[in-house]
Structure 1
C-alpha cells in the first residue's frame, strides 16, 4: 500500500485523471437554473359543445374517471366539468419515476372509453407535455396594420417549425394564433325556404371533398393507385360545389352562401404584448442539455428568421431561460469561490502554511472528483447542486484536517513518512469511515425522499454525499501520497495554542469533566430551549422566489367571452405599466400564458373568462413593491374581476396558499357551505382574495319545447337541439389543404343570429319530411336562468374548493391555523359532508412525511455503523445523544436567526445533525486512542480534548462556518435562512463535542466511573 501511495508517477497520473475528468464534466454536464422535477401531472381535455356542466359531468367526466381510476399509479384524480368542456387532472404517485409508460396506459384507457362517450363529444386528449417551463418565448408583432393575423400566424408557425427542428428541442407551442378557417355564411331563412339546413349544406360540401383512394389497378405486371380528384384546392372549388334540393333542383354553394377565408371566431385565445396583439412562440429544451448552448442555437435560428421576415413584422425575445440560469449560477459559483477563499484563509490561521497547503490542495481534488461523479450519477449543474458543494466545503476539509494533523504529529515525533502514514491509516481509517458514513446517512432521507420536494432538494444532499465520499478517498489516498512534498521538516506541534485562552479552555474542560452530570444538565438547556421554542416559530413550506418577474391571474364574471377577456386585458395593461419598476406585460386572454417558471401549473385551459399575465420588472428588488402597489390598484380599477397578483414560489407547485376541500353529494349545499367558508376566510386581514369554484352563477338561456308541436313536425328534441347547435356553432364540411396547412370548411349563419338573444326566437327549425321552417318561438318558451359554472370532483366525489390568497410576506400555516379554529367553532356540517385541508398545508405535511419515512431504518444503520466501529453500544448511545441535541440546537439557531420553520430548514437541521455526530465520533476516537483518557483520567482527557482534537474540531467548525458565510449574506429568501440556521447551529453544536461528549464518555465509558 505504501509503495503505491509514494509512487510519484502514479500520483501524477491520478491527479491528471482527476483534472481531465473534472474539466470534462464542467463542459458536458447539463446546466439549468433549478432541478428538473418529474412531470407527474397531466390533464385530459374533452369538449362537448352545447352541454351544460351537469351533462358534461354525467356523460363525459364520470365515464373517463372510471377508466383512469383503474390505474394503480394514479394518486389523485380531480376534474372540472364546465360549459362544453371536461377537464380531468391526473397526479401520479411520488414513487413513479418513469412516467411515459403510465401516460401510454392512460391513452389506452381513454381509447377504451371513447365508444361510451356521446357522439357530439370530441376525442379525449391527454396533455402531458406542458409540465416543464419553456426555455425561450418569442413575440411576433405587427408594426404594419395592413398585415393580417393570418400572415403573422404563418410566420409564427414557420418559426415554431424551425425551433422544433433543433435537435435538442422537445416541445413548442403557439399562443394567440387563431386557427384559419374557410367560412360559408348562409342566411337561415333562405335555406329554410329551400328545405335546407346548415347540416344539409355541410354534409353536401363534405361529400364533394374527394381526397380518398378509389382502389388499385393490378394487371399482374404493375400496380397503379386510382384516386378521385376534386379536393378543395381553393375558394372557387368550394363555391362550385352543388347542393341538391327538392324536386331534383341543384344550386351552387356560391349561390347559397358567402365563401371567405378567415380565422376562428371567436378564437380560443388572444395574446397581447403591452396591450397590442401578438403571437407568442414558446420553445423548450429537452432534458439533459446545456441551456446556454441551446439558447445560442435558438437565437441563431431567430436571427435567420428575422432576415426573411417582411417589413412590418417584428420579433422580440420576451423570455430566455439561459439568462436566469447564468445569473443564478454566477451567484452560487461566486458564493462557492468566496467560501473557498474564507476556508483556505482559516486553514492558514489554524494549521500553518504547510498544513493549509495539504488540506487546501485536497479541496480542488475533491471538487474535481465530485464533478466527475456528477456525470456518473446523472446530477446536473444548477443552483441546488452547487449549493450542496458549498455546504460540503467545510465537511470536505474535515477528513483532510484529521489526516494532516495526524501525519504532522507523527512526523514531528520523528516517524518516517512511511511509518506516519501507516500509523495514521491504521488509527483513523475506521473512525473516519464511520463518521463519513453517519454523516452520509444523515443526508440520505433527503436523497430517498420521493416526489417533487425530494427532487428539488435531493441534488443538494447528493452533492454533499458525493463530496463526503470524495473527501474520504482524497484524505486517505492523496494527502498521504503528497505528504513527502508538503509535510517535511516538521517538529511536534504544540497543543497549547494561545497561552491564556488555552489555559481558560483547559480549566473549563477540567471543571466539566469533574462534574459531568452538572455539565451535561446545564448544556442541555440550550437544545431543550430550542425544542420548547418550536411550537412558537412561524411555519412555511418553501420561500418565495427572488425574480424580476411575477404573474397575474384574472377571473372574469361567469359567461364572459374571450373577446371581453381581451378587452379587459387591454384596459389593464396601462394600469400595470404605470407601476414603478414594471417594464413589459404579456398576456393571454382565454387560457394559460406560456409557462416560464418551473412550479407554475396551468389549470385554466380553454377558459374564455380567464386572463394570465407575465409582468417583467426592472429587477428582483422591484418585484415586491410592484406587487403590493398593483394588487391594490387593480382591485380598485376592476372591481368586477378577481385579480390575483402573485410572486413565483420555490419548491413543488401549490394551487393556492390556503385551500379547503368540502366533500358532499348535493351541489346547492356545496355552493352554500362554500360561500360561508369563503366568508370566514375573507374576514382574515391577511387574505386578499377568496375563490370558490362551485357556484350557480353561469347565465344560460333555457328553452322549454312544446313536445306535441315538435312531434307534429316530425321532429324530436334531439333533432331540434342539433339544428339550433348548427345555427349557433356552425357545422364542419371537410377541409381545404394548402401546402401543409389544413383549414376546416365551416358552414355558419351570420353574426347577429349567433350573438343576439332576440334573434333566437326568429330562428327557423326545419320540419321532417321536407316541411318548411318553423320559428323557435312557436316551438319553445325562452327563459334566462342561472346554471352551474363548473362542477368539481376529486377522487370520484363532488367537492367544493375554497381557495385563499395572501398578502405578500404572510405565512399560510399561521393564517390556516386561525381559520380552522374559526371554522371548528362556528361551522356545523350536515351529515354526509366533510372538510379537508389542501393547499400549502397539505403539500408541506406530505413532504415532511415523505422526508421522515426512511429515517427509522437509516438511524438503525447509523447505530450499527457506529457500534461496529467502536464495538460499544454505550459509545453509539453517546453519538446519537449528540445528534438529538444538535436537532434542538438547530431549532434554537433558527429562532435566533429569525426565520420561519420551513422545509429547507428541516433539510439544513438534518445536515447539522450529521456534522455534530461526525465531530462526536472523532472525539470518542481520540479519547479511546489515549490509554489514560480511556481509563477516565481527567487530566489526560483534558490533554486529548485541547490537543490535536481541538485543533481538528475547531478548524472543521470554522471552515464549515466560513464556507457558509457567502450564503448567509447572499440575497434572496432560499439560502440565507438555510445557511444562517446551519452555521449558527454548528457553532452551538461545538459545545456538544467539547463539553457534552467528553462528560458523557467519562460517565458511561470509563472504568473509573
Structure 2
C-alpha cells in the first residue's frame, strides 16, 4: 500500500538516509542545466508564431476599383469559409492587390502550415475566376513578426550606380551561399534589379515595315526554340528531340529574321533595333545607403538554433565572399542580430546573477551562513531544471525566459526557507534529526503544495495566453512555473535532508555570532508585535484600516496613463515616409537621398539605410512588411551610438523632416515591444461608399490633429490620384479596324513593352522585353503621338487622331476589412505619449464631434485593439483557474472561510501592486497587468503559511488572540526572509536594467510583495480572529487576549 505524505517513511527520509540519492539528484539537475545552456537556442526575443500572411496579385494597368471588384472581392469570398482565419484586410491599388490574412489566436506553430495549405488550395480554385492578365495569386507566409538574423549590403564601389546587372548576379550568388549555411531558414533579396534583355526598335523602321511592338515580341517568342519537340520512341530506345537555334546570346537575338523581301534578302532584328543587357525600369524597389544604390541580402536563421553559433558560420562564409569579390564590390554586414542578442542576454544574465547574490545575502543575514548555503542550493538546482524543461515547450534562452528566472529567484527558495527553518526549530527543540525532518515534511507538505500550486495557477493565465501576445510573454510564465515545481520537489526531498544533516541541535542553547544564526530581530518587531496584540481586540476596525492602501491602489488606477507595450530598448529607430501618390520611384529616391543627407548629419547617428518602394527588411521582431510595389513609399532604419541617444534623436529627426521637407509625410518612431501593429493609434471607419468614407476619414483626422500627442495621421482611403483617360472615338476607331481593346493593348506595348522569349546565361533566365525608347514615351504629348497599327491594313494612325487624353482624379486606394469597405485612420504619436490613453481621449472627442451616418460605424484599432484582445484572452482561463485555486485552498484548509481569507489577500495584493506602480510613476500597460496576475499567486504564500501555523495551535485555532499573534510572529523570520528575497531578486532589474520594459513589471511584483507583508502579518491574523469569533462563538469570546509571559 502506498504511503501518504503524512505517514512515516516519507520519500524525504530516503534522501536523508541515502547520500548517494542526494548526490545523484543534484548531479542530474546540474548536468541537465549545463546541457540546456550549451544546446538550447539563443535568441533575443521569443519567436511569434506565423499567423499572418500576405496574398499578392498583380493586374497591370487596372484601377484600384477594378482590382477591388475583380480580384480582392473574389479572393475574400473564397477565403471566408476557412474557419481558422480571424481577419482579412485587403488593399487595392493601381495594378496591385494586397490581402493580409490573420489567423485565429489558437493557431500554433504546429497547425499554421495546415491552414496555409487550405488558403493555397482556395487560391488555386479562385484563379480561374480572375480577369485575363492577372498574375497567379502568391501567398507569402514568411512575413512573420520575426527579425532577420543578418542583413548584408552590396554596393558598387566606383562612381555612379555602376553595373547593377553585375551587382544583381553577385547578390544572387551571396543568396545561394547563405542558403547553404546550416540551419538557415530564409534568404531574400531587397532592392534588387530584375535583369532583362532590352530590345528597343526604331519607331520609323517599325512604321515602314508595318509592324507594331507586340509583333516584334511575338516574332522573338516564336524564334525561341527552348521547347520540347517530342521524342522518337522505338522498340529499344527513346530519343528526345529539340530544335536547334535557342536564344542564347545577344548576337543570336539580333539574328532573328523579321521580314524577308522579294529579292531574297532578310531583314533581321539587329538591323532595326538596339539590343542590350538591362534591367526592368522603373524598378520595384531601390535600396540606398550612404547615397549609393544598395542591394540587400537578408538572411534568417532557424528558430531552434544558437544564434551566436549560426552567426559565426555565416560570417565565415561572408568573409570568403568578400575576398572573392573584393575590388569594385563593397559587401558589408549592415545588421547582425547576434550582437544584440548577446548584449541583451548578457545584461539579463548579469541581473540574474546579481539577484541571486542578493537573495543569498538576505538569507545569510536572516538565517546565518549554514542555512543560507542549504537554502541557496535550491537556486542553481531549480534554475538548472527549469532551463532543461524549456526544450519541452519549444522555448529557448531569450530575454523572456531569463526574466522568468529573475521573477522566480525569490519564489524558488520560499519553500526551502520555510522547510529549513521548521527543521532547524524542531531539532533545536530536542527532536532527533530524522524525526525533525519527517515531522516538518508532514506538517508543511500540504501548505507548501497548496502555496506552490496556487502560485502556479496565478501564472497559468500567462502560461496559457494564446495569440501573438501569448507567444511573446508566455515564456515568462513557463520559466516561473517549471522553476516552482522543481523547487517544491527539492523543498520536500533534498532541502529537509540537508537541513537535518547540517543543523547543530545545540546552537539554540548558547550565544552564537549573528553570522551563524542570523541577525537578531530589530526592536520595531517587538513594537509591532505589541501593536498587533492591541489591534486584535478590535479586528474589524484594524482589518478595515489595513485595506486602505489596497483601496487607494485600485482607486488610483483610472488616473494612470495606459499603454500596451513600451518602446524597445534599441540603439536604432525607423523612418516611414509617404510622398505624393503620383510620384515615380525615381523621385522618391531623390527625396530620401536628400533626407538621408540631413539625418546622417545628426550627432550620434552612425549609419542609416533605406528602401524605396517596399518595407525595409525586418531588423526587429515585430516589424511586419506591409508595403509592396508602392513607388510613393520608403522606409529607413537609423542606427545611433546608444539606445539613449536614439530616443533623444526621434523628436529631433521628426522636426527636421517636418521643417525641411513639408511636401512629404514622415513618421519617425522607435521600435515598439509586443505584437506588431501598423500604428499605435488607429480607427476603422466602415461603410459602403468610398466618397463618404473619405469625408468621415478627414473629419476624424481633423479631430486627431487637435491632440498635442499626435504627430501625423494617415488614411487608407485618401483623396483621389490623377489618371489619364483616352477618350477614343469608338466609331472612328472601328472605321480603321480598331476596337477599344486593340487600342489599350497597343498603348500597353508602346509604353510598358511586351516580353517574348528568353536567354539562358548560366543558370539565370533573362526575359526579352521589346518596347520603344524611353525618350519617346515620357510626356503626354509623346503618348498622343504614339502610332497605332491598323488591323485592316499595314498603315498607321497616331493616337491623337482617335481621341484626346483627359486627366481625372480616381480613388488611388480601396481598402476592405472582413468583407466591408473600410477607411483606416492611422495616428502616430510623440515619443513620450501613451498610445492607449491617447486613443481613448481622442475616441471621446470623435464621438462628440463626428456624426456617423446610418450604415457606417467606427471601431478602435491599433494598440488599444491589441490590448483589448490580449486582456480578453487572459480572461478566458480565469474562471476555471479561479475555481481550481479555490478548490485547492478549500481542500488544503478544509475550510471555505479560510480559503476566502487567502483569496481576499490575493485580490488585495493587486491593489498594492497598482499603488506601487503609481508611486513609481510608470504607466499601466500589459506588463504590469500580467505582473499583477502573478503577484496575486505569489502574495498568498505567506498567508497560507501563517494560517497553517495558526490552525496547528489548539488555542490559536479556537480564537485565542494572544496565541494567534504568537503563531503569526513565529512565522515572522521566514515571512520576512521570503518577502526580502522576492524583492531582492528584482532589485537589479529596477536599478540596473534601464529602459522602460522591465521596471514596471518588477515594480508591481516587488512593491506588491513588500506591501503584502502587512496583509500576511497583520491583516491575516485579524481576519482569522473575526472568523474564529464567528465560527467558534463561545470559546472564542471566552478566550482572553493577552501576551504570554
Normalized against structure 2, the TM-score is what?
0.95
Alignment partner of 1:966 is 2:988: yes
Distance (whole Å) between structure 1 residues aligned to residue 775 and residue 137 of structure 2: 32
Report the CA distance between 1:955 and its aligned residue: 0.3
Larger displacement relative to structure 2 (541-550 or 890-899): 890-899
Aligned to 2:532: 509
Alignment partner of 1:256 is 2:272: yes
Cα deviations by residue, 1:51-81 (Å, 9 ceiling, x for unpaired) = 1111111111111111122211111101110
Instruction: Identify the match of residue 119 of structure 1 among 132, 135, 141.
Output: 132
SS of the counterpart of 1:514? coil
Distance (whole Å) between structure 1 residues aligned to residue 243 and residue 950 of structure 2: 95
Report the CA distance between 1:515 and its aligned residue: 1.3
Aligned to 2:78: 67
Aligned to 1:910: 933
> Taking structure 1 as reference, are residues 700 and 392 closer, same or farther at Cα in structure 2, changes over 3 Å only?
same
Alignment partner of 1:606 is 2:606: no
Instruction: Identify the match of residue 325 of structure 2 among 309, 321, 336.
Output: 309
What aligned pairs does 1:335-484 form with structure 2 within 5 A after superposition? 335-484=351-500
Cα deviations by residue, 1:229-273 (Å, 9 ceiling, x for unpaired) = 222110111111123589999632112311111111111111111
Report the CA distance between 1:172 and its aligned residue: 0.7
- Whether the aligned pair in 1 keeps the contact of 2:16 and 2:501 (CA below 8 Å) is no
> Taking structure 1 as reference, are residues 951 and 788 closer, same or farther at Cα in structure 2, changes over 3 Å only?
same
Alignment partner of 1:232 is 2:247: yes
Distance (whole Å) between structure 2 residues aligned to residue 224 and residue 495 of structure 1: 93
Distance (whole Å) between structure 2 residues aligned to residue 435 and residue 872 of structure 1: 15
- Whether the aligned pair in 1 keeps the contact of 2:15 and 2:494 (CA below 8 Å) is no
Aligned to 1:137: 151
Distance (whole Å) between structure 2 residues aligned to residue 799 and residue 182 of structure 1: 42
Larger displacement relative to structure 2 (235-244 or 735-744): 235-244
Larger displacement relative to structure 2 (460-469 or 821-830): 821-830
Cα deviations by residue, 1:828-877 (Å, 9 ceiling, x for unpaired) = 12221111111111111111111111111100000011111111111111
- Whether the aligned pair in 2 keeps the contact of 1:601 and 1:653 (CA below 8 Å) is yes
Distance (whole Å) between structure 1 residues aligned to residue 718 and residue 709 of structure 2: 24
Aligned to 1:579: 602
- Whether the aligned pair in 1 keeps the contact of 2:46 and 2:395 (CA below 8 Å) is no
Distance (whole Å) between structure 2 residues aligned to residue 496 and residue 358 of structure 1: 17
SS of the counterpart of 2:226? coil
Aligned to 1:778: 801
Distance (whole Å) between structure 2 residues aligned to residue 659 and residue 594 of structure 1: 24
Runs of 4+ in 1 over 6 A off after TM superposition: 245-249, 493-496
Report the CA distance between 1:499 and its aligned residue: 6.4
Alignment partner of 1:955 is 2:967: no
Distance (whole Å) between structure 2 residues aligned to residue 249 and residue 434 of structure 1: 100
Report the CA distance between 1:433 and its aligned residue: 0.5
- Whether the aligned pair in 1 keeps the contact of 2:54 and 2:143 (CA below 8 Å) is no
Aligned to 1:671: 694
What aligned pairs does 1:234-313 form with structure 2 within 5 A after superposition? 234-244=249-259, 251-313=267-329
Distance (whole Å) between structure 2 residues aligned to residue 4 and residue 530 of structure 1: 46
Distance (whole Å) between structure 1 residues aligned to residue 518 and residue 358 of structure 2: 24
Aligned to 2:879: 856
Aligned to 1:41: 52
Distance (whole Å) between structure 1 residues aligned to residue 818 and residue 747 of structure 2: 36
Normalized against structure 1, the TM-score is what?
0.98
> Taking structure 1 as reference, are residues 285 and 945 closer, same or farther at Cα in structure 2, changes over 3 Å only?
same
- Whether the aligned pair in 1 keeps the contact of 2:424 and 2:500 (CA below 8 Å) is no
Cα deviations by residue, 1:125-157 (Å, 9 ceiling, x for unpaired) = 111112221101111122223851111221121
Larger displacement relative to structure 2 (514-523 or 748-757): 748-757
Cα deviations by residue, 1:802-835 (Å, 9 ceiling, x for unpaired) = 1111111111222222322222222112221111
SS of the counterpart of 1:225? strand
- Whether the aligned pair in 2 keeps the contact of 1:552 and 1:643 (CA below 8 Å) is yes
Aligned to 1:763: 786
Distance (whole Å) between structure 2 residues aligned to residue 674 and residue 772 of structure 1: 52
Aligned to 1:87: 98
Report the CA distance between 1:496 and its aligned residue: 11
Distance (whole Å) between structure 1 residues aligned to residue 716 and residue 726 of structure 2: 26
SS of the counterpart of 1:799? strand
Cα deviations by residue, 1:620-662 (Å, 9 ceiling, x for unpaired) = 1101111111100111111110011010000001111111111
Distance (whole Å) between structure 2 residues aligned to residue 828 and residue 4 of structure 1: 74
Aligned to 2:3: none
- Whether the aligned pair in 2 keeps the contact of 1:182 and 1:262 (CA below 8 Å) is yes
Aligned to 2:67: 56
Distance (whole Å) between structure 2 residues aligned to residue 671 and residue 933 of structure 1: 73
Aligned to 2:513: none
Aligned to 2:1042: none
- Whether the aligned pair in 2 keeps the contact of 1:275 and 1:569 (CA below 8 Å) is no
What root-mean-square deviation, in Å, do the aligned CA atoms of Structure 1 and Structure 2 show? 1.6
Report the CA distance between 1:104 and its aligned residue: 1.3
Distance (whole Å) between structure 2 residues aligned to residue 788 and residue 499 of structure 1: 76
Report the CA distance between 1:502 and its aligned residue: 3.0
Aligned to 1:520: 543
SS of the counterpart of 1:761? helix
Report the CA distance between 1:985 and its aligned residue: 1.4
Report the CA distance between 1:5 and its aligned residue: 3.8
Report the CA distance between 1:492 and its aligned residue: 4.4
- Whether the aligned pair in 1 keeps the contact of 2:759 and 2:766 (CA below 8 Å) is yes
Alignment partner of 1:107 is 2:120: yes
Aligned to 1:644: 667
Report the CA distance between 1:500 and its aligned residue: 3.1
Cα deviations by residue, 1:81-116 (Å, 9 ceiling, x for unpaired) = 001101101111101112111111111111111111
Report the CA distance between 1:189 and its aligned residue: 4.2
Cα deviations by residue, 1:947-1002 (Å, 9 ceiling, x for unpaired) = 1x111110000000000100111211101111122111111111111111111112
SS of the counterpart of 2:299? strand
SS of the counterpart of 1:120? coil
SS of the counterpart of 1:593? coil
Distance (whole Å) between structure 1 residues aligned to residue 378 and residue 818 of structure 2: 55
Distance (whole Å) between structure 2 residues aligned to residue 282 and residue 341 of structure 1: 41
Distance (whole Å) between structure 1 residues aligned to residue 296 and residue 356 of structure 2: 44
- Whether the aligned pair in 2 keeps the contact of 1:174 and 1:282 (CA below 8 Å) is yes
Aligned to 2:219: 204
Distance (whole Å) between structure 1 residues aligned to residue 260 and residue 57 of structure 2: 36
> Taking structure 1 as reference, are residues 57 and 222 closer, same or farther at Cα in structure 2, changes over 3 Å only?
same
Alignment partner of 1:837 is 2:860: yes
Distance (whole Å) between structure 2 residues aligned to residue 53 and residue 189 of structure 1: 36
Cα deviations by residue, 1:538-589 (Å, 9 ceiling, x for unpaired) = 1110000111011100100011111111111111111101111111010011
Aligned to 1:223: 238
- Whether the aligned pair in 2 keeps the contact of 1:657 and 1:806 (CA below 8 Å) is yes
- Whether the aligned pair in 2 keeps the contact of 1:573 and 1:585 (CA below 8 Å) is yes
Alignment partner of 1:160 is 2:175: yes
- Whether the aligned pair in 2 keeps the contact of 1:181 and 1:263 (CA below 8 Å) is yes
Alignment partner of 1:322 is 2:338: yes
Distance (whole Å) between structure 2 residues aligned to residue 502 and residue 632 of structure 1: 57
Aligned to 2:8: none
- Whether the aligned pair in 1 keeps the contact of 2:424 and 2:499 (CA below 8 Å) is no
- Whether the aligned pair in 1 keeps the contact of 2:89 and 2:815 (CA below 8 Å) is yes
Distance (whole Å) between structure 2 residues aligned to residue 249 and residue 44 of structure 1: 51
- Whether the aligned pair in 1 keeps the contact of 2:182 and 2:310 (CA below 8 Å) is no
Report the CA distance between 1:486 and its aligned residue: 2.4
Gaps of 5+ in 2: 1-10, 510-516, 1038-1045
Distance (whole Å) between structure 2 residues aligned to residue 5 and residue 815 of structure 1: 61
- Whether the aligned pair in 2 keeps the contact of 1:357 and 1:486 (CA below 8 Å) is no
